[in-house]
Each structure stands twice: as structure tokens, then as C-alpha cells.
């Protein structure tokens, strides 16, 4: 494994000043993304996955957001960049595929305009060069008749095709890293598989690193090299995907895995849901945030806020009862 990660996130914290109080959406998370690997960030809705990605991209408006910590990309600390410097990184260094392509694509601009804009800005392409590259990209992401499609608008495309366009835009300026935020949420299962396989193939072909944000553990198992599990704004478990699936060391991860059907388990075995609801981020107690929902909790869990510690090579957990898990 490389000793110089492409992306290093250190103690990233995001707070929002809300009428009901301060919301700690992301709470001092740290992780690495190595060159050419796929890292998944997984957790329930509201766990802080998408907010952390927007913070890495410098897309959170301040106020109401307050962002702290270090985001180091290719040895440059992005947290110290001004807006103009960040614009040079977005698209060119780091590409992003957003959750809902219909709201991410501009409905009044043609696909050609939206694909070409970044290439002309970041790479200095002429309109003819950008058009040629746009045709290549649409073909690469599996859109037939790319020359004709360039003149069309987002409403001419299906959901899966729009997401392919978003991937093409993310690739247009040859980034080193792509962040994909729930890229298949609104798509049917067949199209989901096609899009995810496309992204996996592209990372291999172009040597691009991928941060895959999802709530789908099946996606994580198939496509991710490593995984960070988030709960209530914190990373509660982190490690190699195979190791984490085989031997989860946090009750929340165990709960997520127990609530998902598997083809290799007894069909008579019932799925087990995680009790309760995620906590109110404006009213977090000083102990473990998962304590009220945890089947392995002891009294100390309500008082001690566990930090992420290594339990084996490249496998960490934030749980004082990890040795009690089956």
C-alpha cells in the first residue's frame, strides 16, 4: 500500500448553525484514499456521508456551515485554498458525480455545452477539441449515437443515461479522484449494476481513485477496496472490505450486516433490524452515540465517547465492547 495517499482527510468537522441549535453533521473524521483504489463511505441517511463529500469539494456555504480540519489532496491543503483556487481543483483534480443527475445537470444547456465547459476552462481546449473529446466520453460511458446526443438536453435522457452523462462530465478533465455520492439511488436494479460496473471499469482503465458514498452494503461488498462506516457524523469502523464484512468489530456495522439478506445464509433465518432511530445531532450525549440502540452496551458506554482504535492491521473501531461481538 502506498505511503503517500492521494487524499488525506484529517479531523474534518462540519457544523451547521440551526434555529434549534448547533448541528454537528461531521465530527472529526479522518481517512485516506490511495491512488487507484475505491473507498466506500457507508451509513444511514443523516450520518454525514454527503456532507463530508461536499466539504472535501469545498461546496459548503459559510455561513451556515462551519468547516474545520485538513483536506490534503496531492500534498496540497485544500482547506487553505480560496474559492478561485478550489475552482481549479474541482473537475480537473477531483470530479464529482452527484446523487440526482436531473437536478445536477442544467436543463437549459445542451449536453455538449455542459461537457465542453470544463475542458475549455481547465484544459484550454478549443470548441472543436472539446467536441471531439465529448463524443469520445459519451461513447466511453455507453451512450449510443454520441454525436446526435450531444445536441440534446437532459430531459431527452432517461435517469440511467443522465447518470452516464454525469460520469462523462466527471471524467472530462482527467481527474485523479472521483467522488460519487449515491450515484444509483434513483435507478432500477439493472441500471444500478450497469452504472456501478461502468464506474469500476473506468477507475481501472484510467487509474482514477473513487470515493463511493452509499447506504447499500451489497454495493460496498462488490466494488470497494476499503470501507468507512459512519454513524451520527463519526467514522465508527474502518478497514479492508473483506475483513470488515467477515469480522465486524462495531455493533452498528454488525447491525447493518444483519439487516441485509444474503444468498449464503439459511433462508429460515430472520433478518434483524436495528432498534430505534438515529440520534438528534443537536442533542448528542457525551457517551457513545449508538449507545441507546446497541445490544452490547454496558454502563460505561453512556459516559465514554470511544475513539477509533486499531483492532488489527488496517481495521479500526470506535467501540469499547468490540471484543464482546460474536
pLDDT digits (tens, 9 = 90+) for 276-290: 999 988 888 889 999
- What pLDDT is recorded for position 192? 87
| 33 within 8 A of 2, measured Cβ to Cβ | no
- Summarised one tens digit per residue, pLDDT across range 234-258 is 999 999 999 999 999 999 999 999 8
pLDDT digits (tens, 9 = 90+) for 34-82: 999 999 999 998 999 999 999 999 999 888 999 999 999 999 999 999 9
Per residue in 134-188, pLDDT (tens digit) is 999 999 999 999 999 999 999 999 989 999 999 999 999 999 999 999 988 778 8
Residue closest to 33 by CA, chosen among 177, 241, 201, 238 = 177
Instruction: Identify the CA nearest to 178 among candidates 130, 127, 141, 149.
Output: 141
Beta bridge partners of 309: 317
SS3 51: helix
Q: Is the pTM of this model over 0.75?
A: yes
Residue 187 is predicted with a pLDDT of 81
Give the Å distances, CA to CA, from 317 to 19, 113, 148, 310, 323: 33, 46, 51, 7, 11
- How crowded is residue 150: how many other Cβ atoms within 10 Å of its Cβ? 19
pLDDT band per the 50, 70, 90 thresholds, residue 2: very low
Q: Is 5 a residue whose pLDDT tops 90?
A: yes
Let me know if 278 is exposed, middle or buried by CB neighbors in 10 A (0-12, 13-18, 19+). Answer: middle
pLDDT value of residue 296: 94
- DSSP H or E run through 90: none
- The reported pLDDT for the residue numbered 1 is 44
Query: What pLDDT is stored for residue 102 in this prediction?
Result: 80
Per residue in 118-134, pLDDT tens? 999 999 999 999 999 99
pLDDT digits (tens, 9 = 90+) for 300-318: 999 999 999 999 888 999 9
Dump the DSSP string for 275-300. PS-PPPTTS--SS-TTGGG-SS--GG
What lies within 8 Å, CB to CB, of 3 at 6+ separation is none
- CA nearest to 106, candidates 53, 167, 166: 166
pLDDT for 3 beyond 70: no
Residue 153 pLDDT = 96
CA 194 to chain centre: 18
Average pLDDT over residues 75-102: 91
Amino acid at each position: 500500500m502506498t505511503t503517500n495517499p492521494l487524499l488525506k482527510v484529517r479531523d474534518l468537522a462540519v457544523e451547521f448553525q440551526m434555529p434549534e441549535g448547533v448541528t454537528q453533521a461531521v465530527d472529526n473524521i479522518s481517512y485516506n484514499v490511495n491512488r487507484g483504489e475505491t473507498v466506500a463511505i457507508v451509513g444511514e441517511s443523516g450520518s454525514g456521508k454527503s456532507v463530508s463529500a461536499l466539504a472535501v469539494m469545498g461546496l459548503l456555504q459559510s455561513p451556515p456551515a462551519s468547516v474545520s480540519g485538513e483536506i490534503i489532496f496531492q500534498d496540497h491543503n485544500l482547506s487553505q485554498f480560496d474559492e478561485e483556487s478550489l475552482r481549479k481543483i474541482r473537475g480537473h483534480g477531483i470530479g464529482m458525480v452527484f446523487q440526482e443527475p436531473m437536478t445536477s445537470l442544467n436543463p437549459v444547456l445542451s449536453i455538449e455545452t455542459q461537457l465542453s465547459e470544463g475542458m475549455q476552462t481547465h484544459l484550454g481546449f478549443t470548441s472543436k477539441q472539446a467536441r471531439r473529446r465529448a463524443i469520445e466520453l459519451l461513447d466511453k460511458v455507453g451512450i449510443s449515437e454520441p454525436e446526435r446526443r450531444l445536441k440534446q438536453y437532459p430531459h431527452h435522457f432517461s435517469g440511467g443515461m443522465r447518470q452516464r452523462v454525469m460520469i462523462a462530465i466527471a471524467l472530462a478533465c482527467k481527474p485523479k479522484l472521483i467522488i460519487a455520492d449515491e450515484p444509483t439511488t434513483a435507478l432500477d436494479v439493472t441500471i444500478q449494476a450497469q452504472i456501478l460496473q461502468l464506474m469500476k471499469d473506468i477507475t481501472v482503465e484510467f487509474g482514477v481513485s473513487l470515493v463511493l458514498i452509499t447506504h447499500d452494503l451489497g454495493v460496498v461488498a462488490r466494488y470497494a477496496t476499503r470501507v468507512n462506516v459512519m454513524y451520527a457524523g463519526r467514522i465508527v469502523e474502518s478497514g479492508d472490505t473483506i475483513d470488515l464484512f467477515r469480522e465486524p468489530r462495531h455493533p452498528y456495522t454488525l447491525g447493518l450486516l444483519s439487516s441485509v439478506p444474503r444468498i449464503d445464509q439459511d433462508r429460515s433465518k430472520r433478518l434483524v433490524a436495528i432498534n430505534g432511530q438515529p440520534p438528534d445531532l443537536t442533542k448528542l450525549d457525551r457517551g457513545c452515540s449508538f449507545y441507546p440502540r446497541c445490544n452490547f452496551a454496558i454502563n460505561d458506554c453512556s459516559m465514554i465517547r470511544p475513539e477509533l482504535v486499531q483492532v488489527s492491521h488496517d481495521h479500526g473501531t470506535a467501540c469499547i465492547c468490540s471484543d464482546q461481538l460474536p
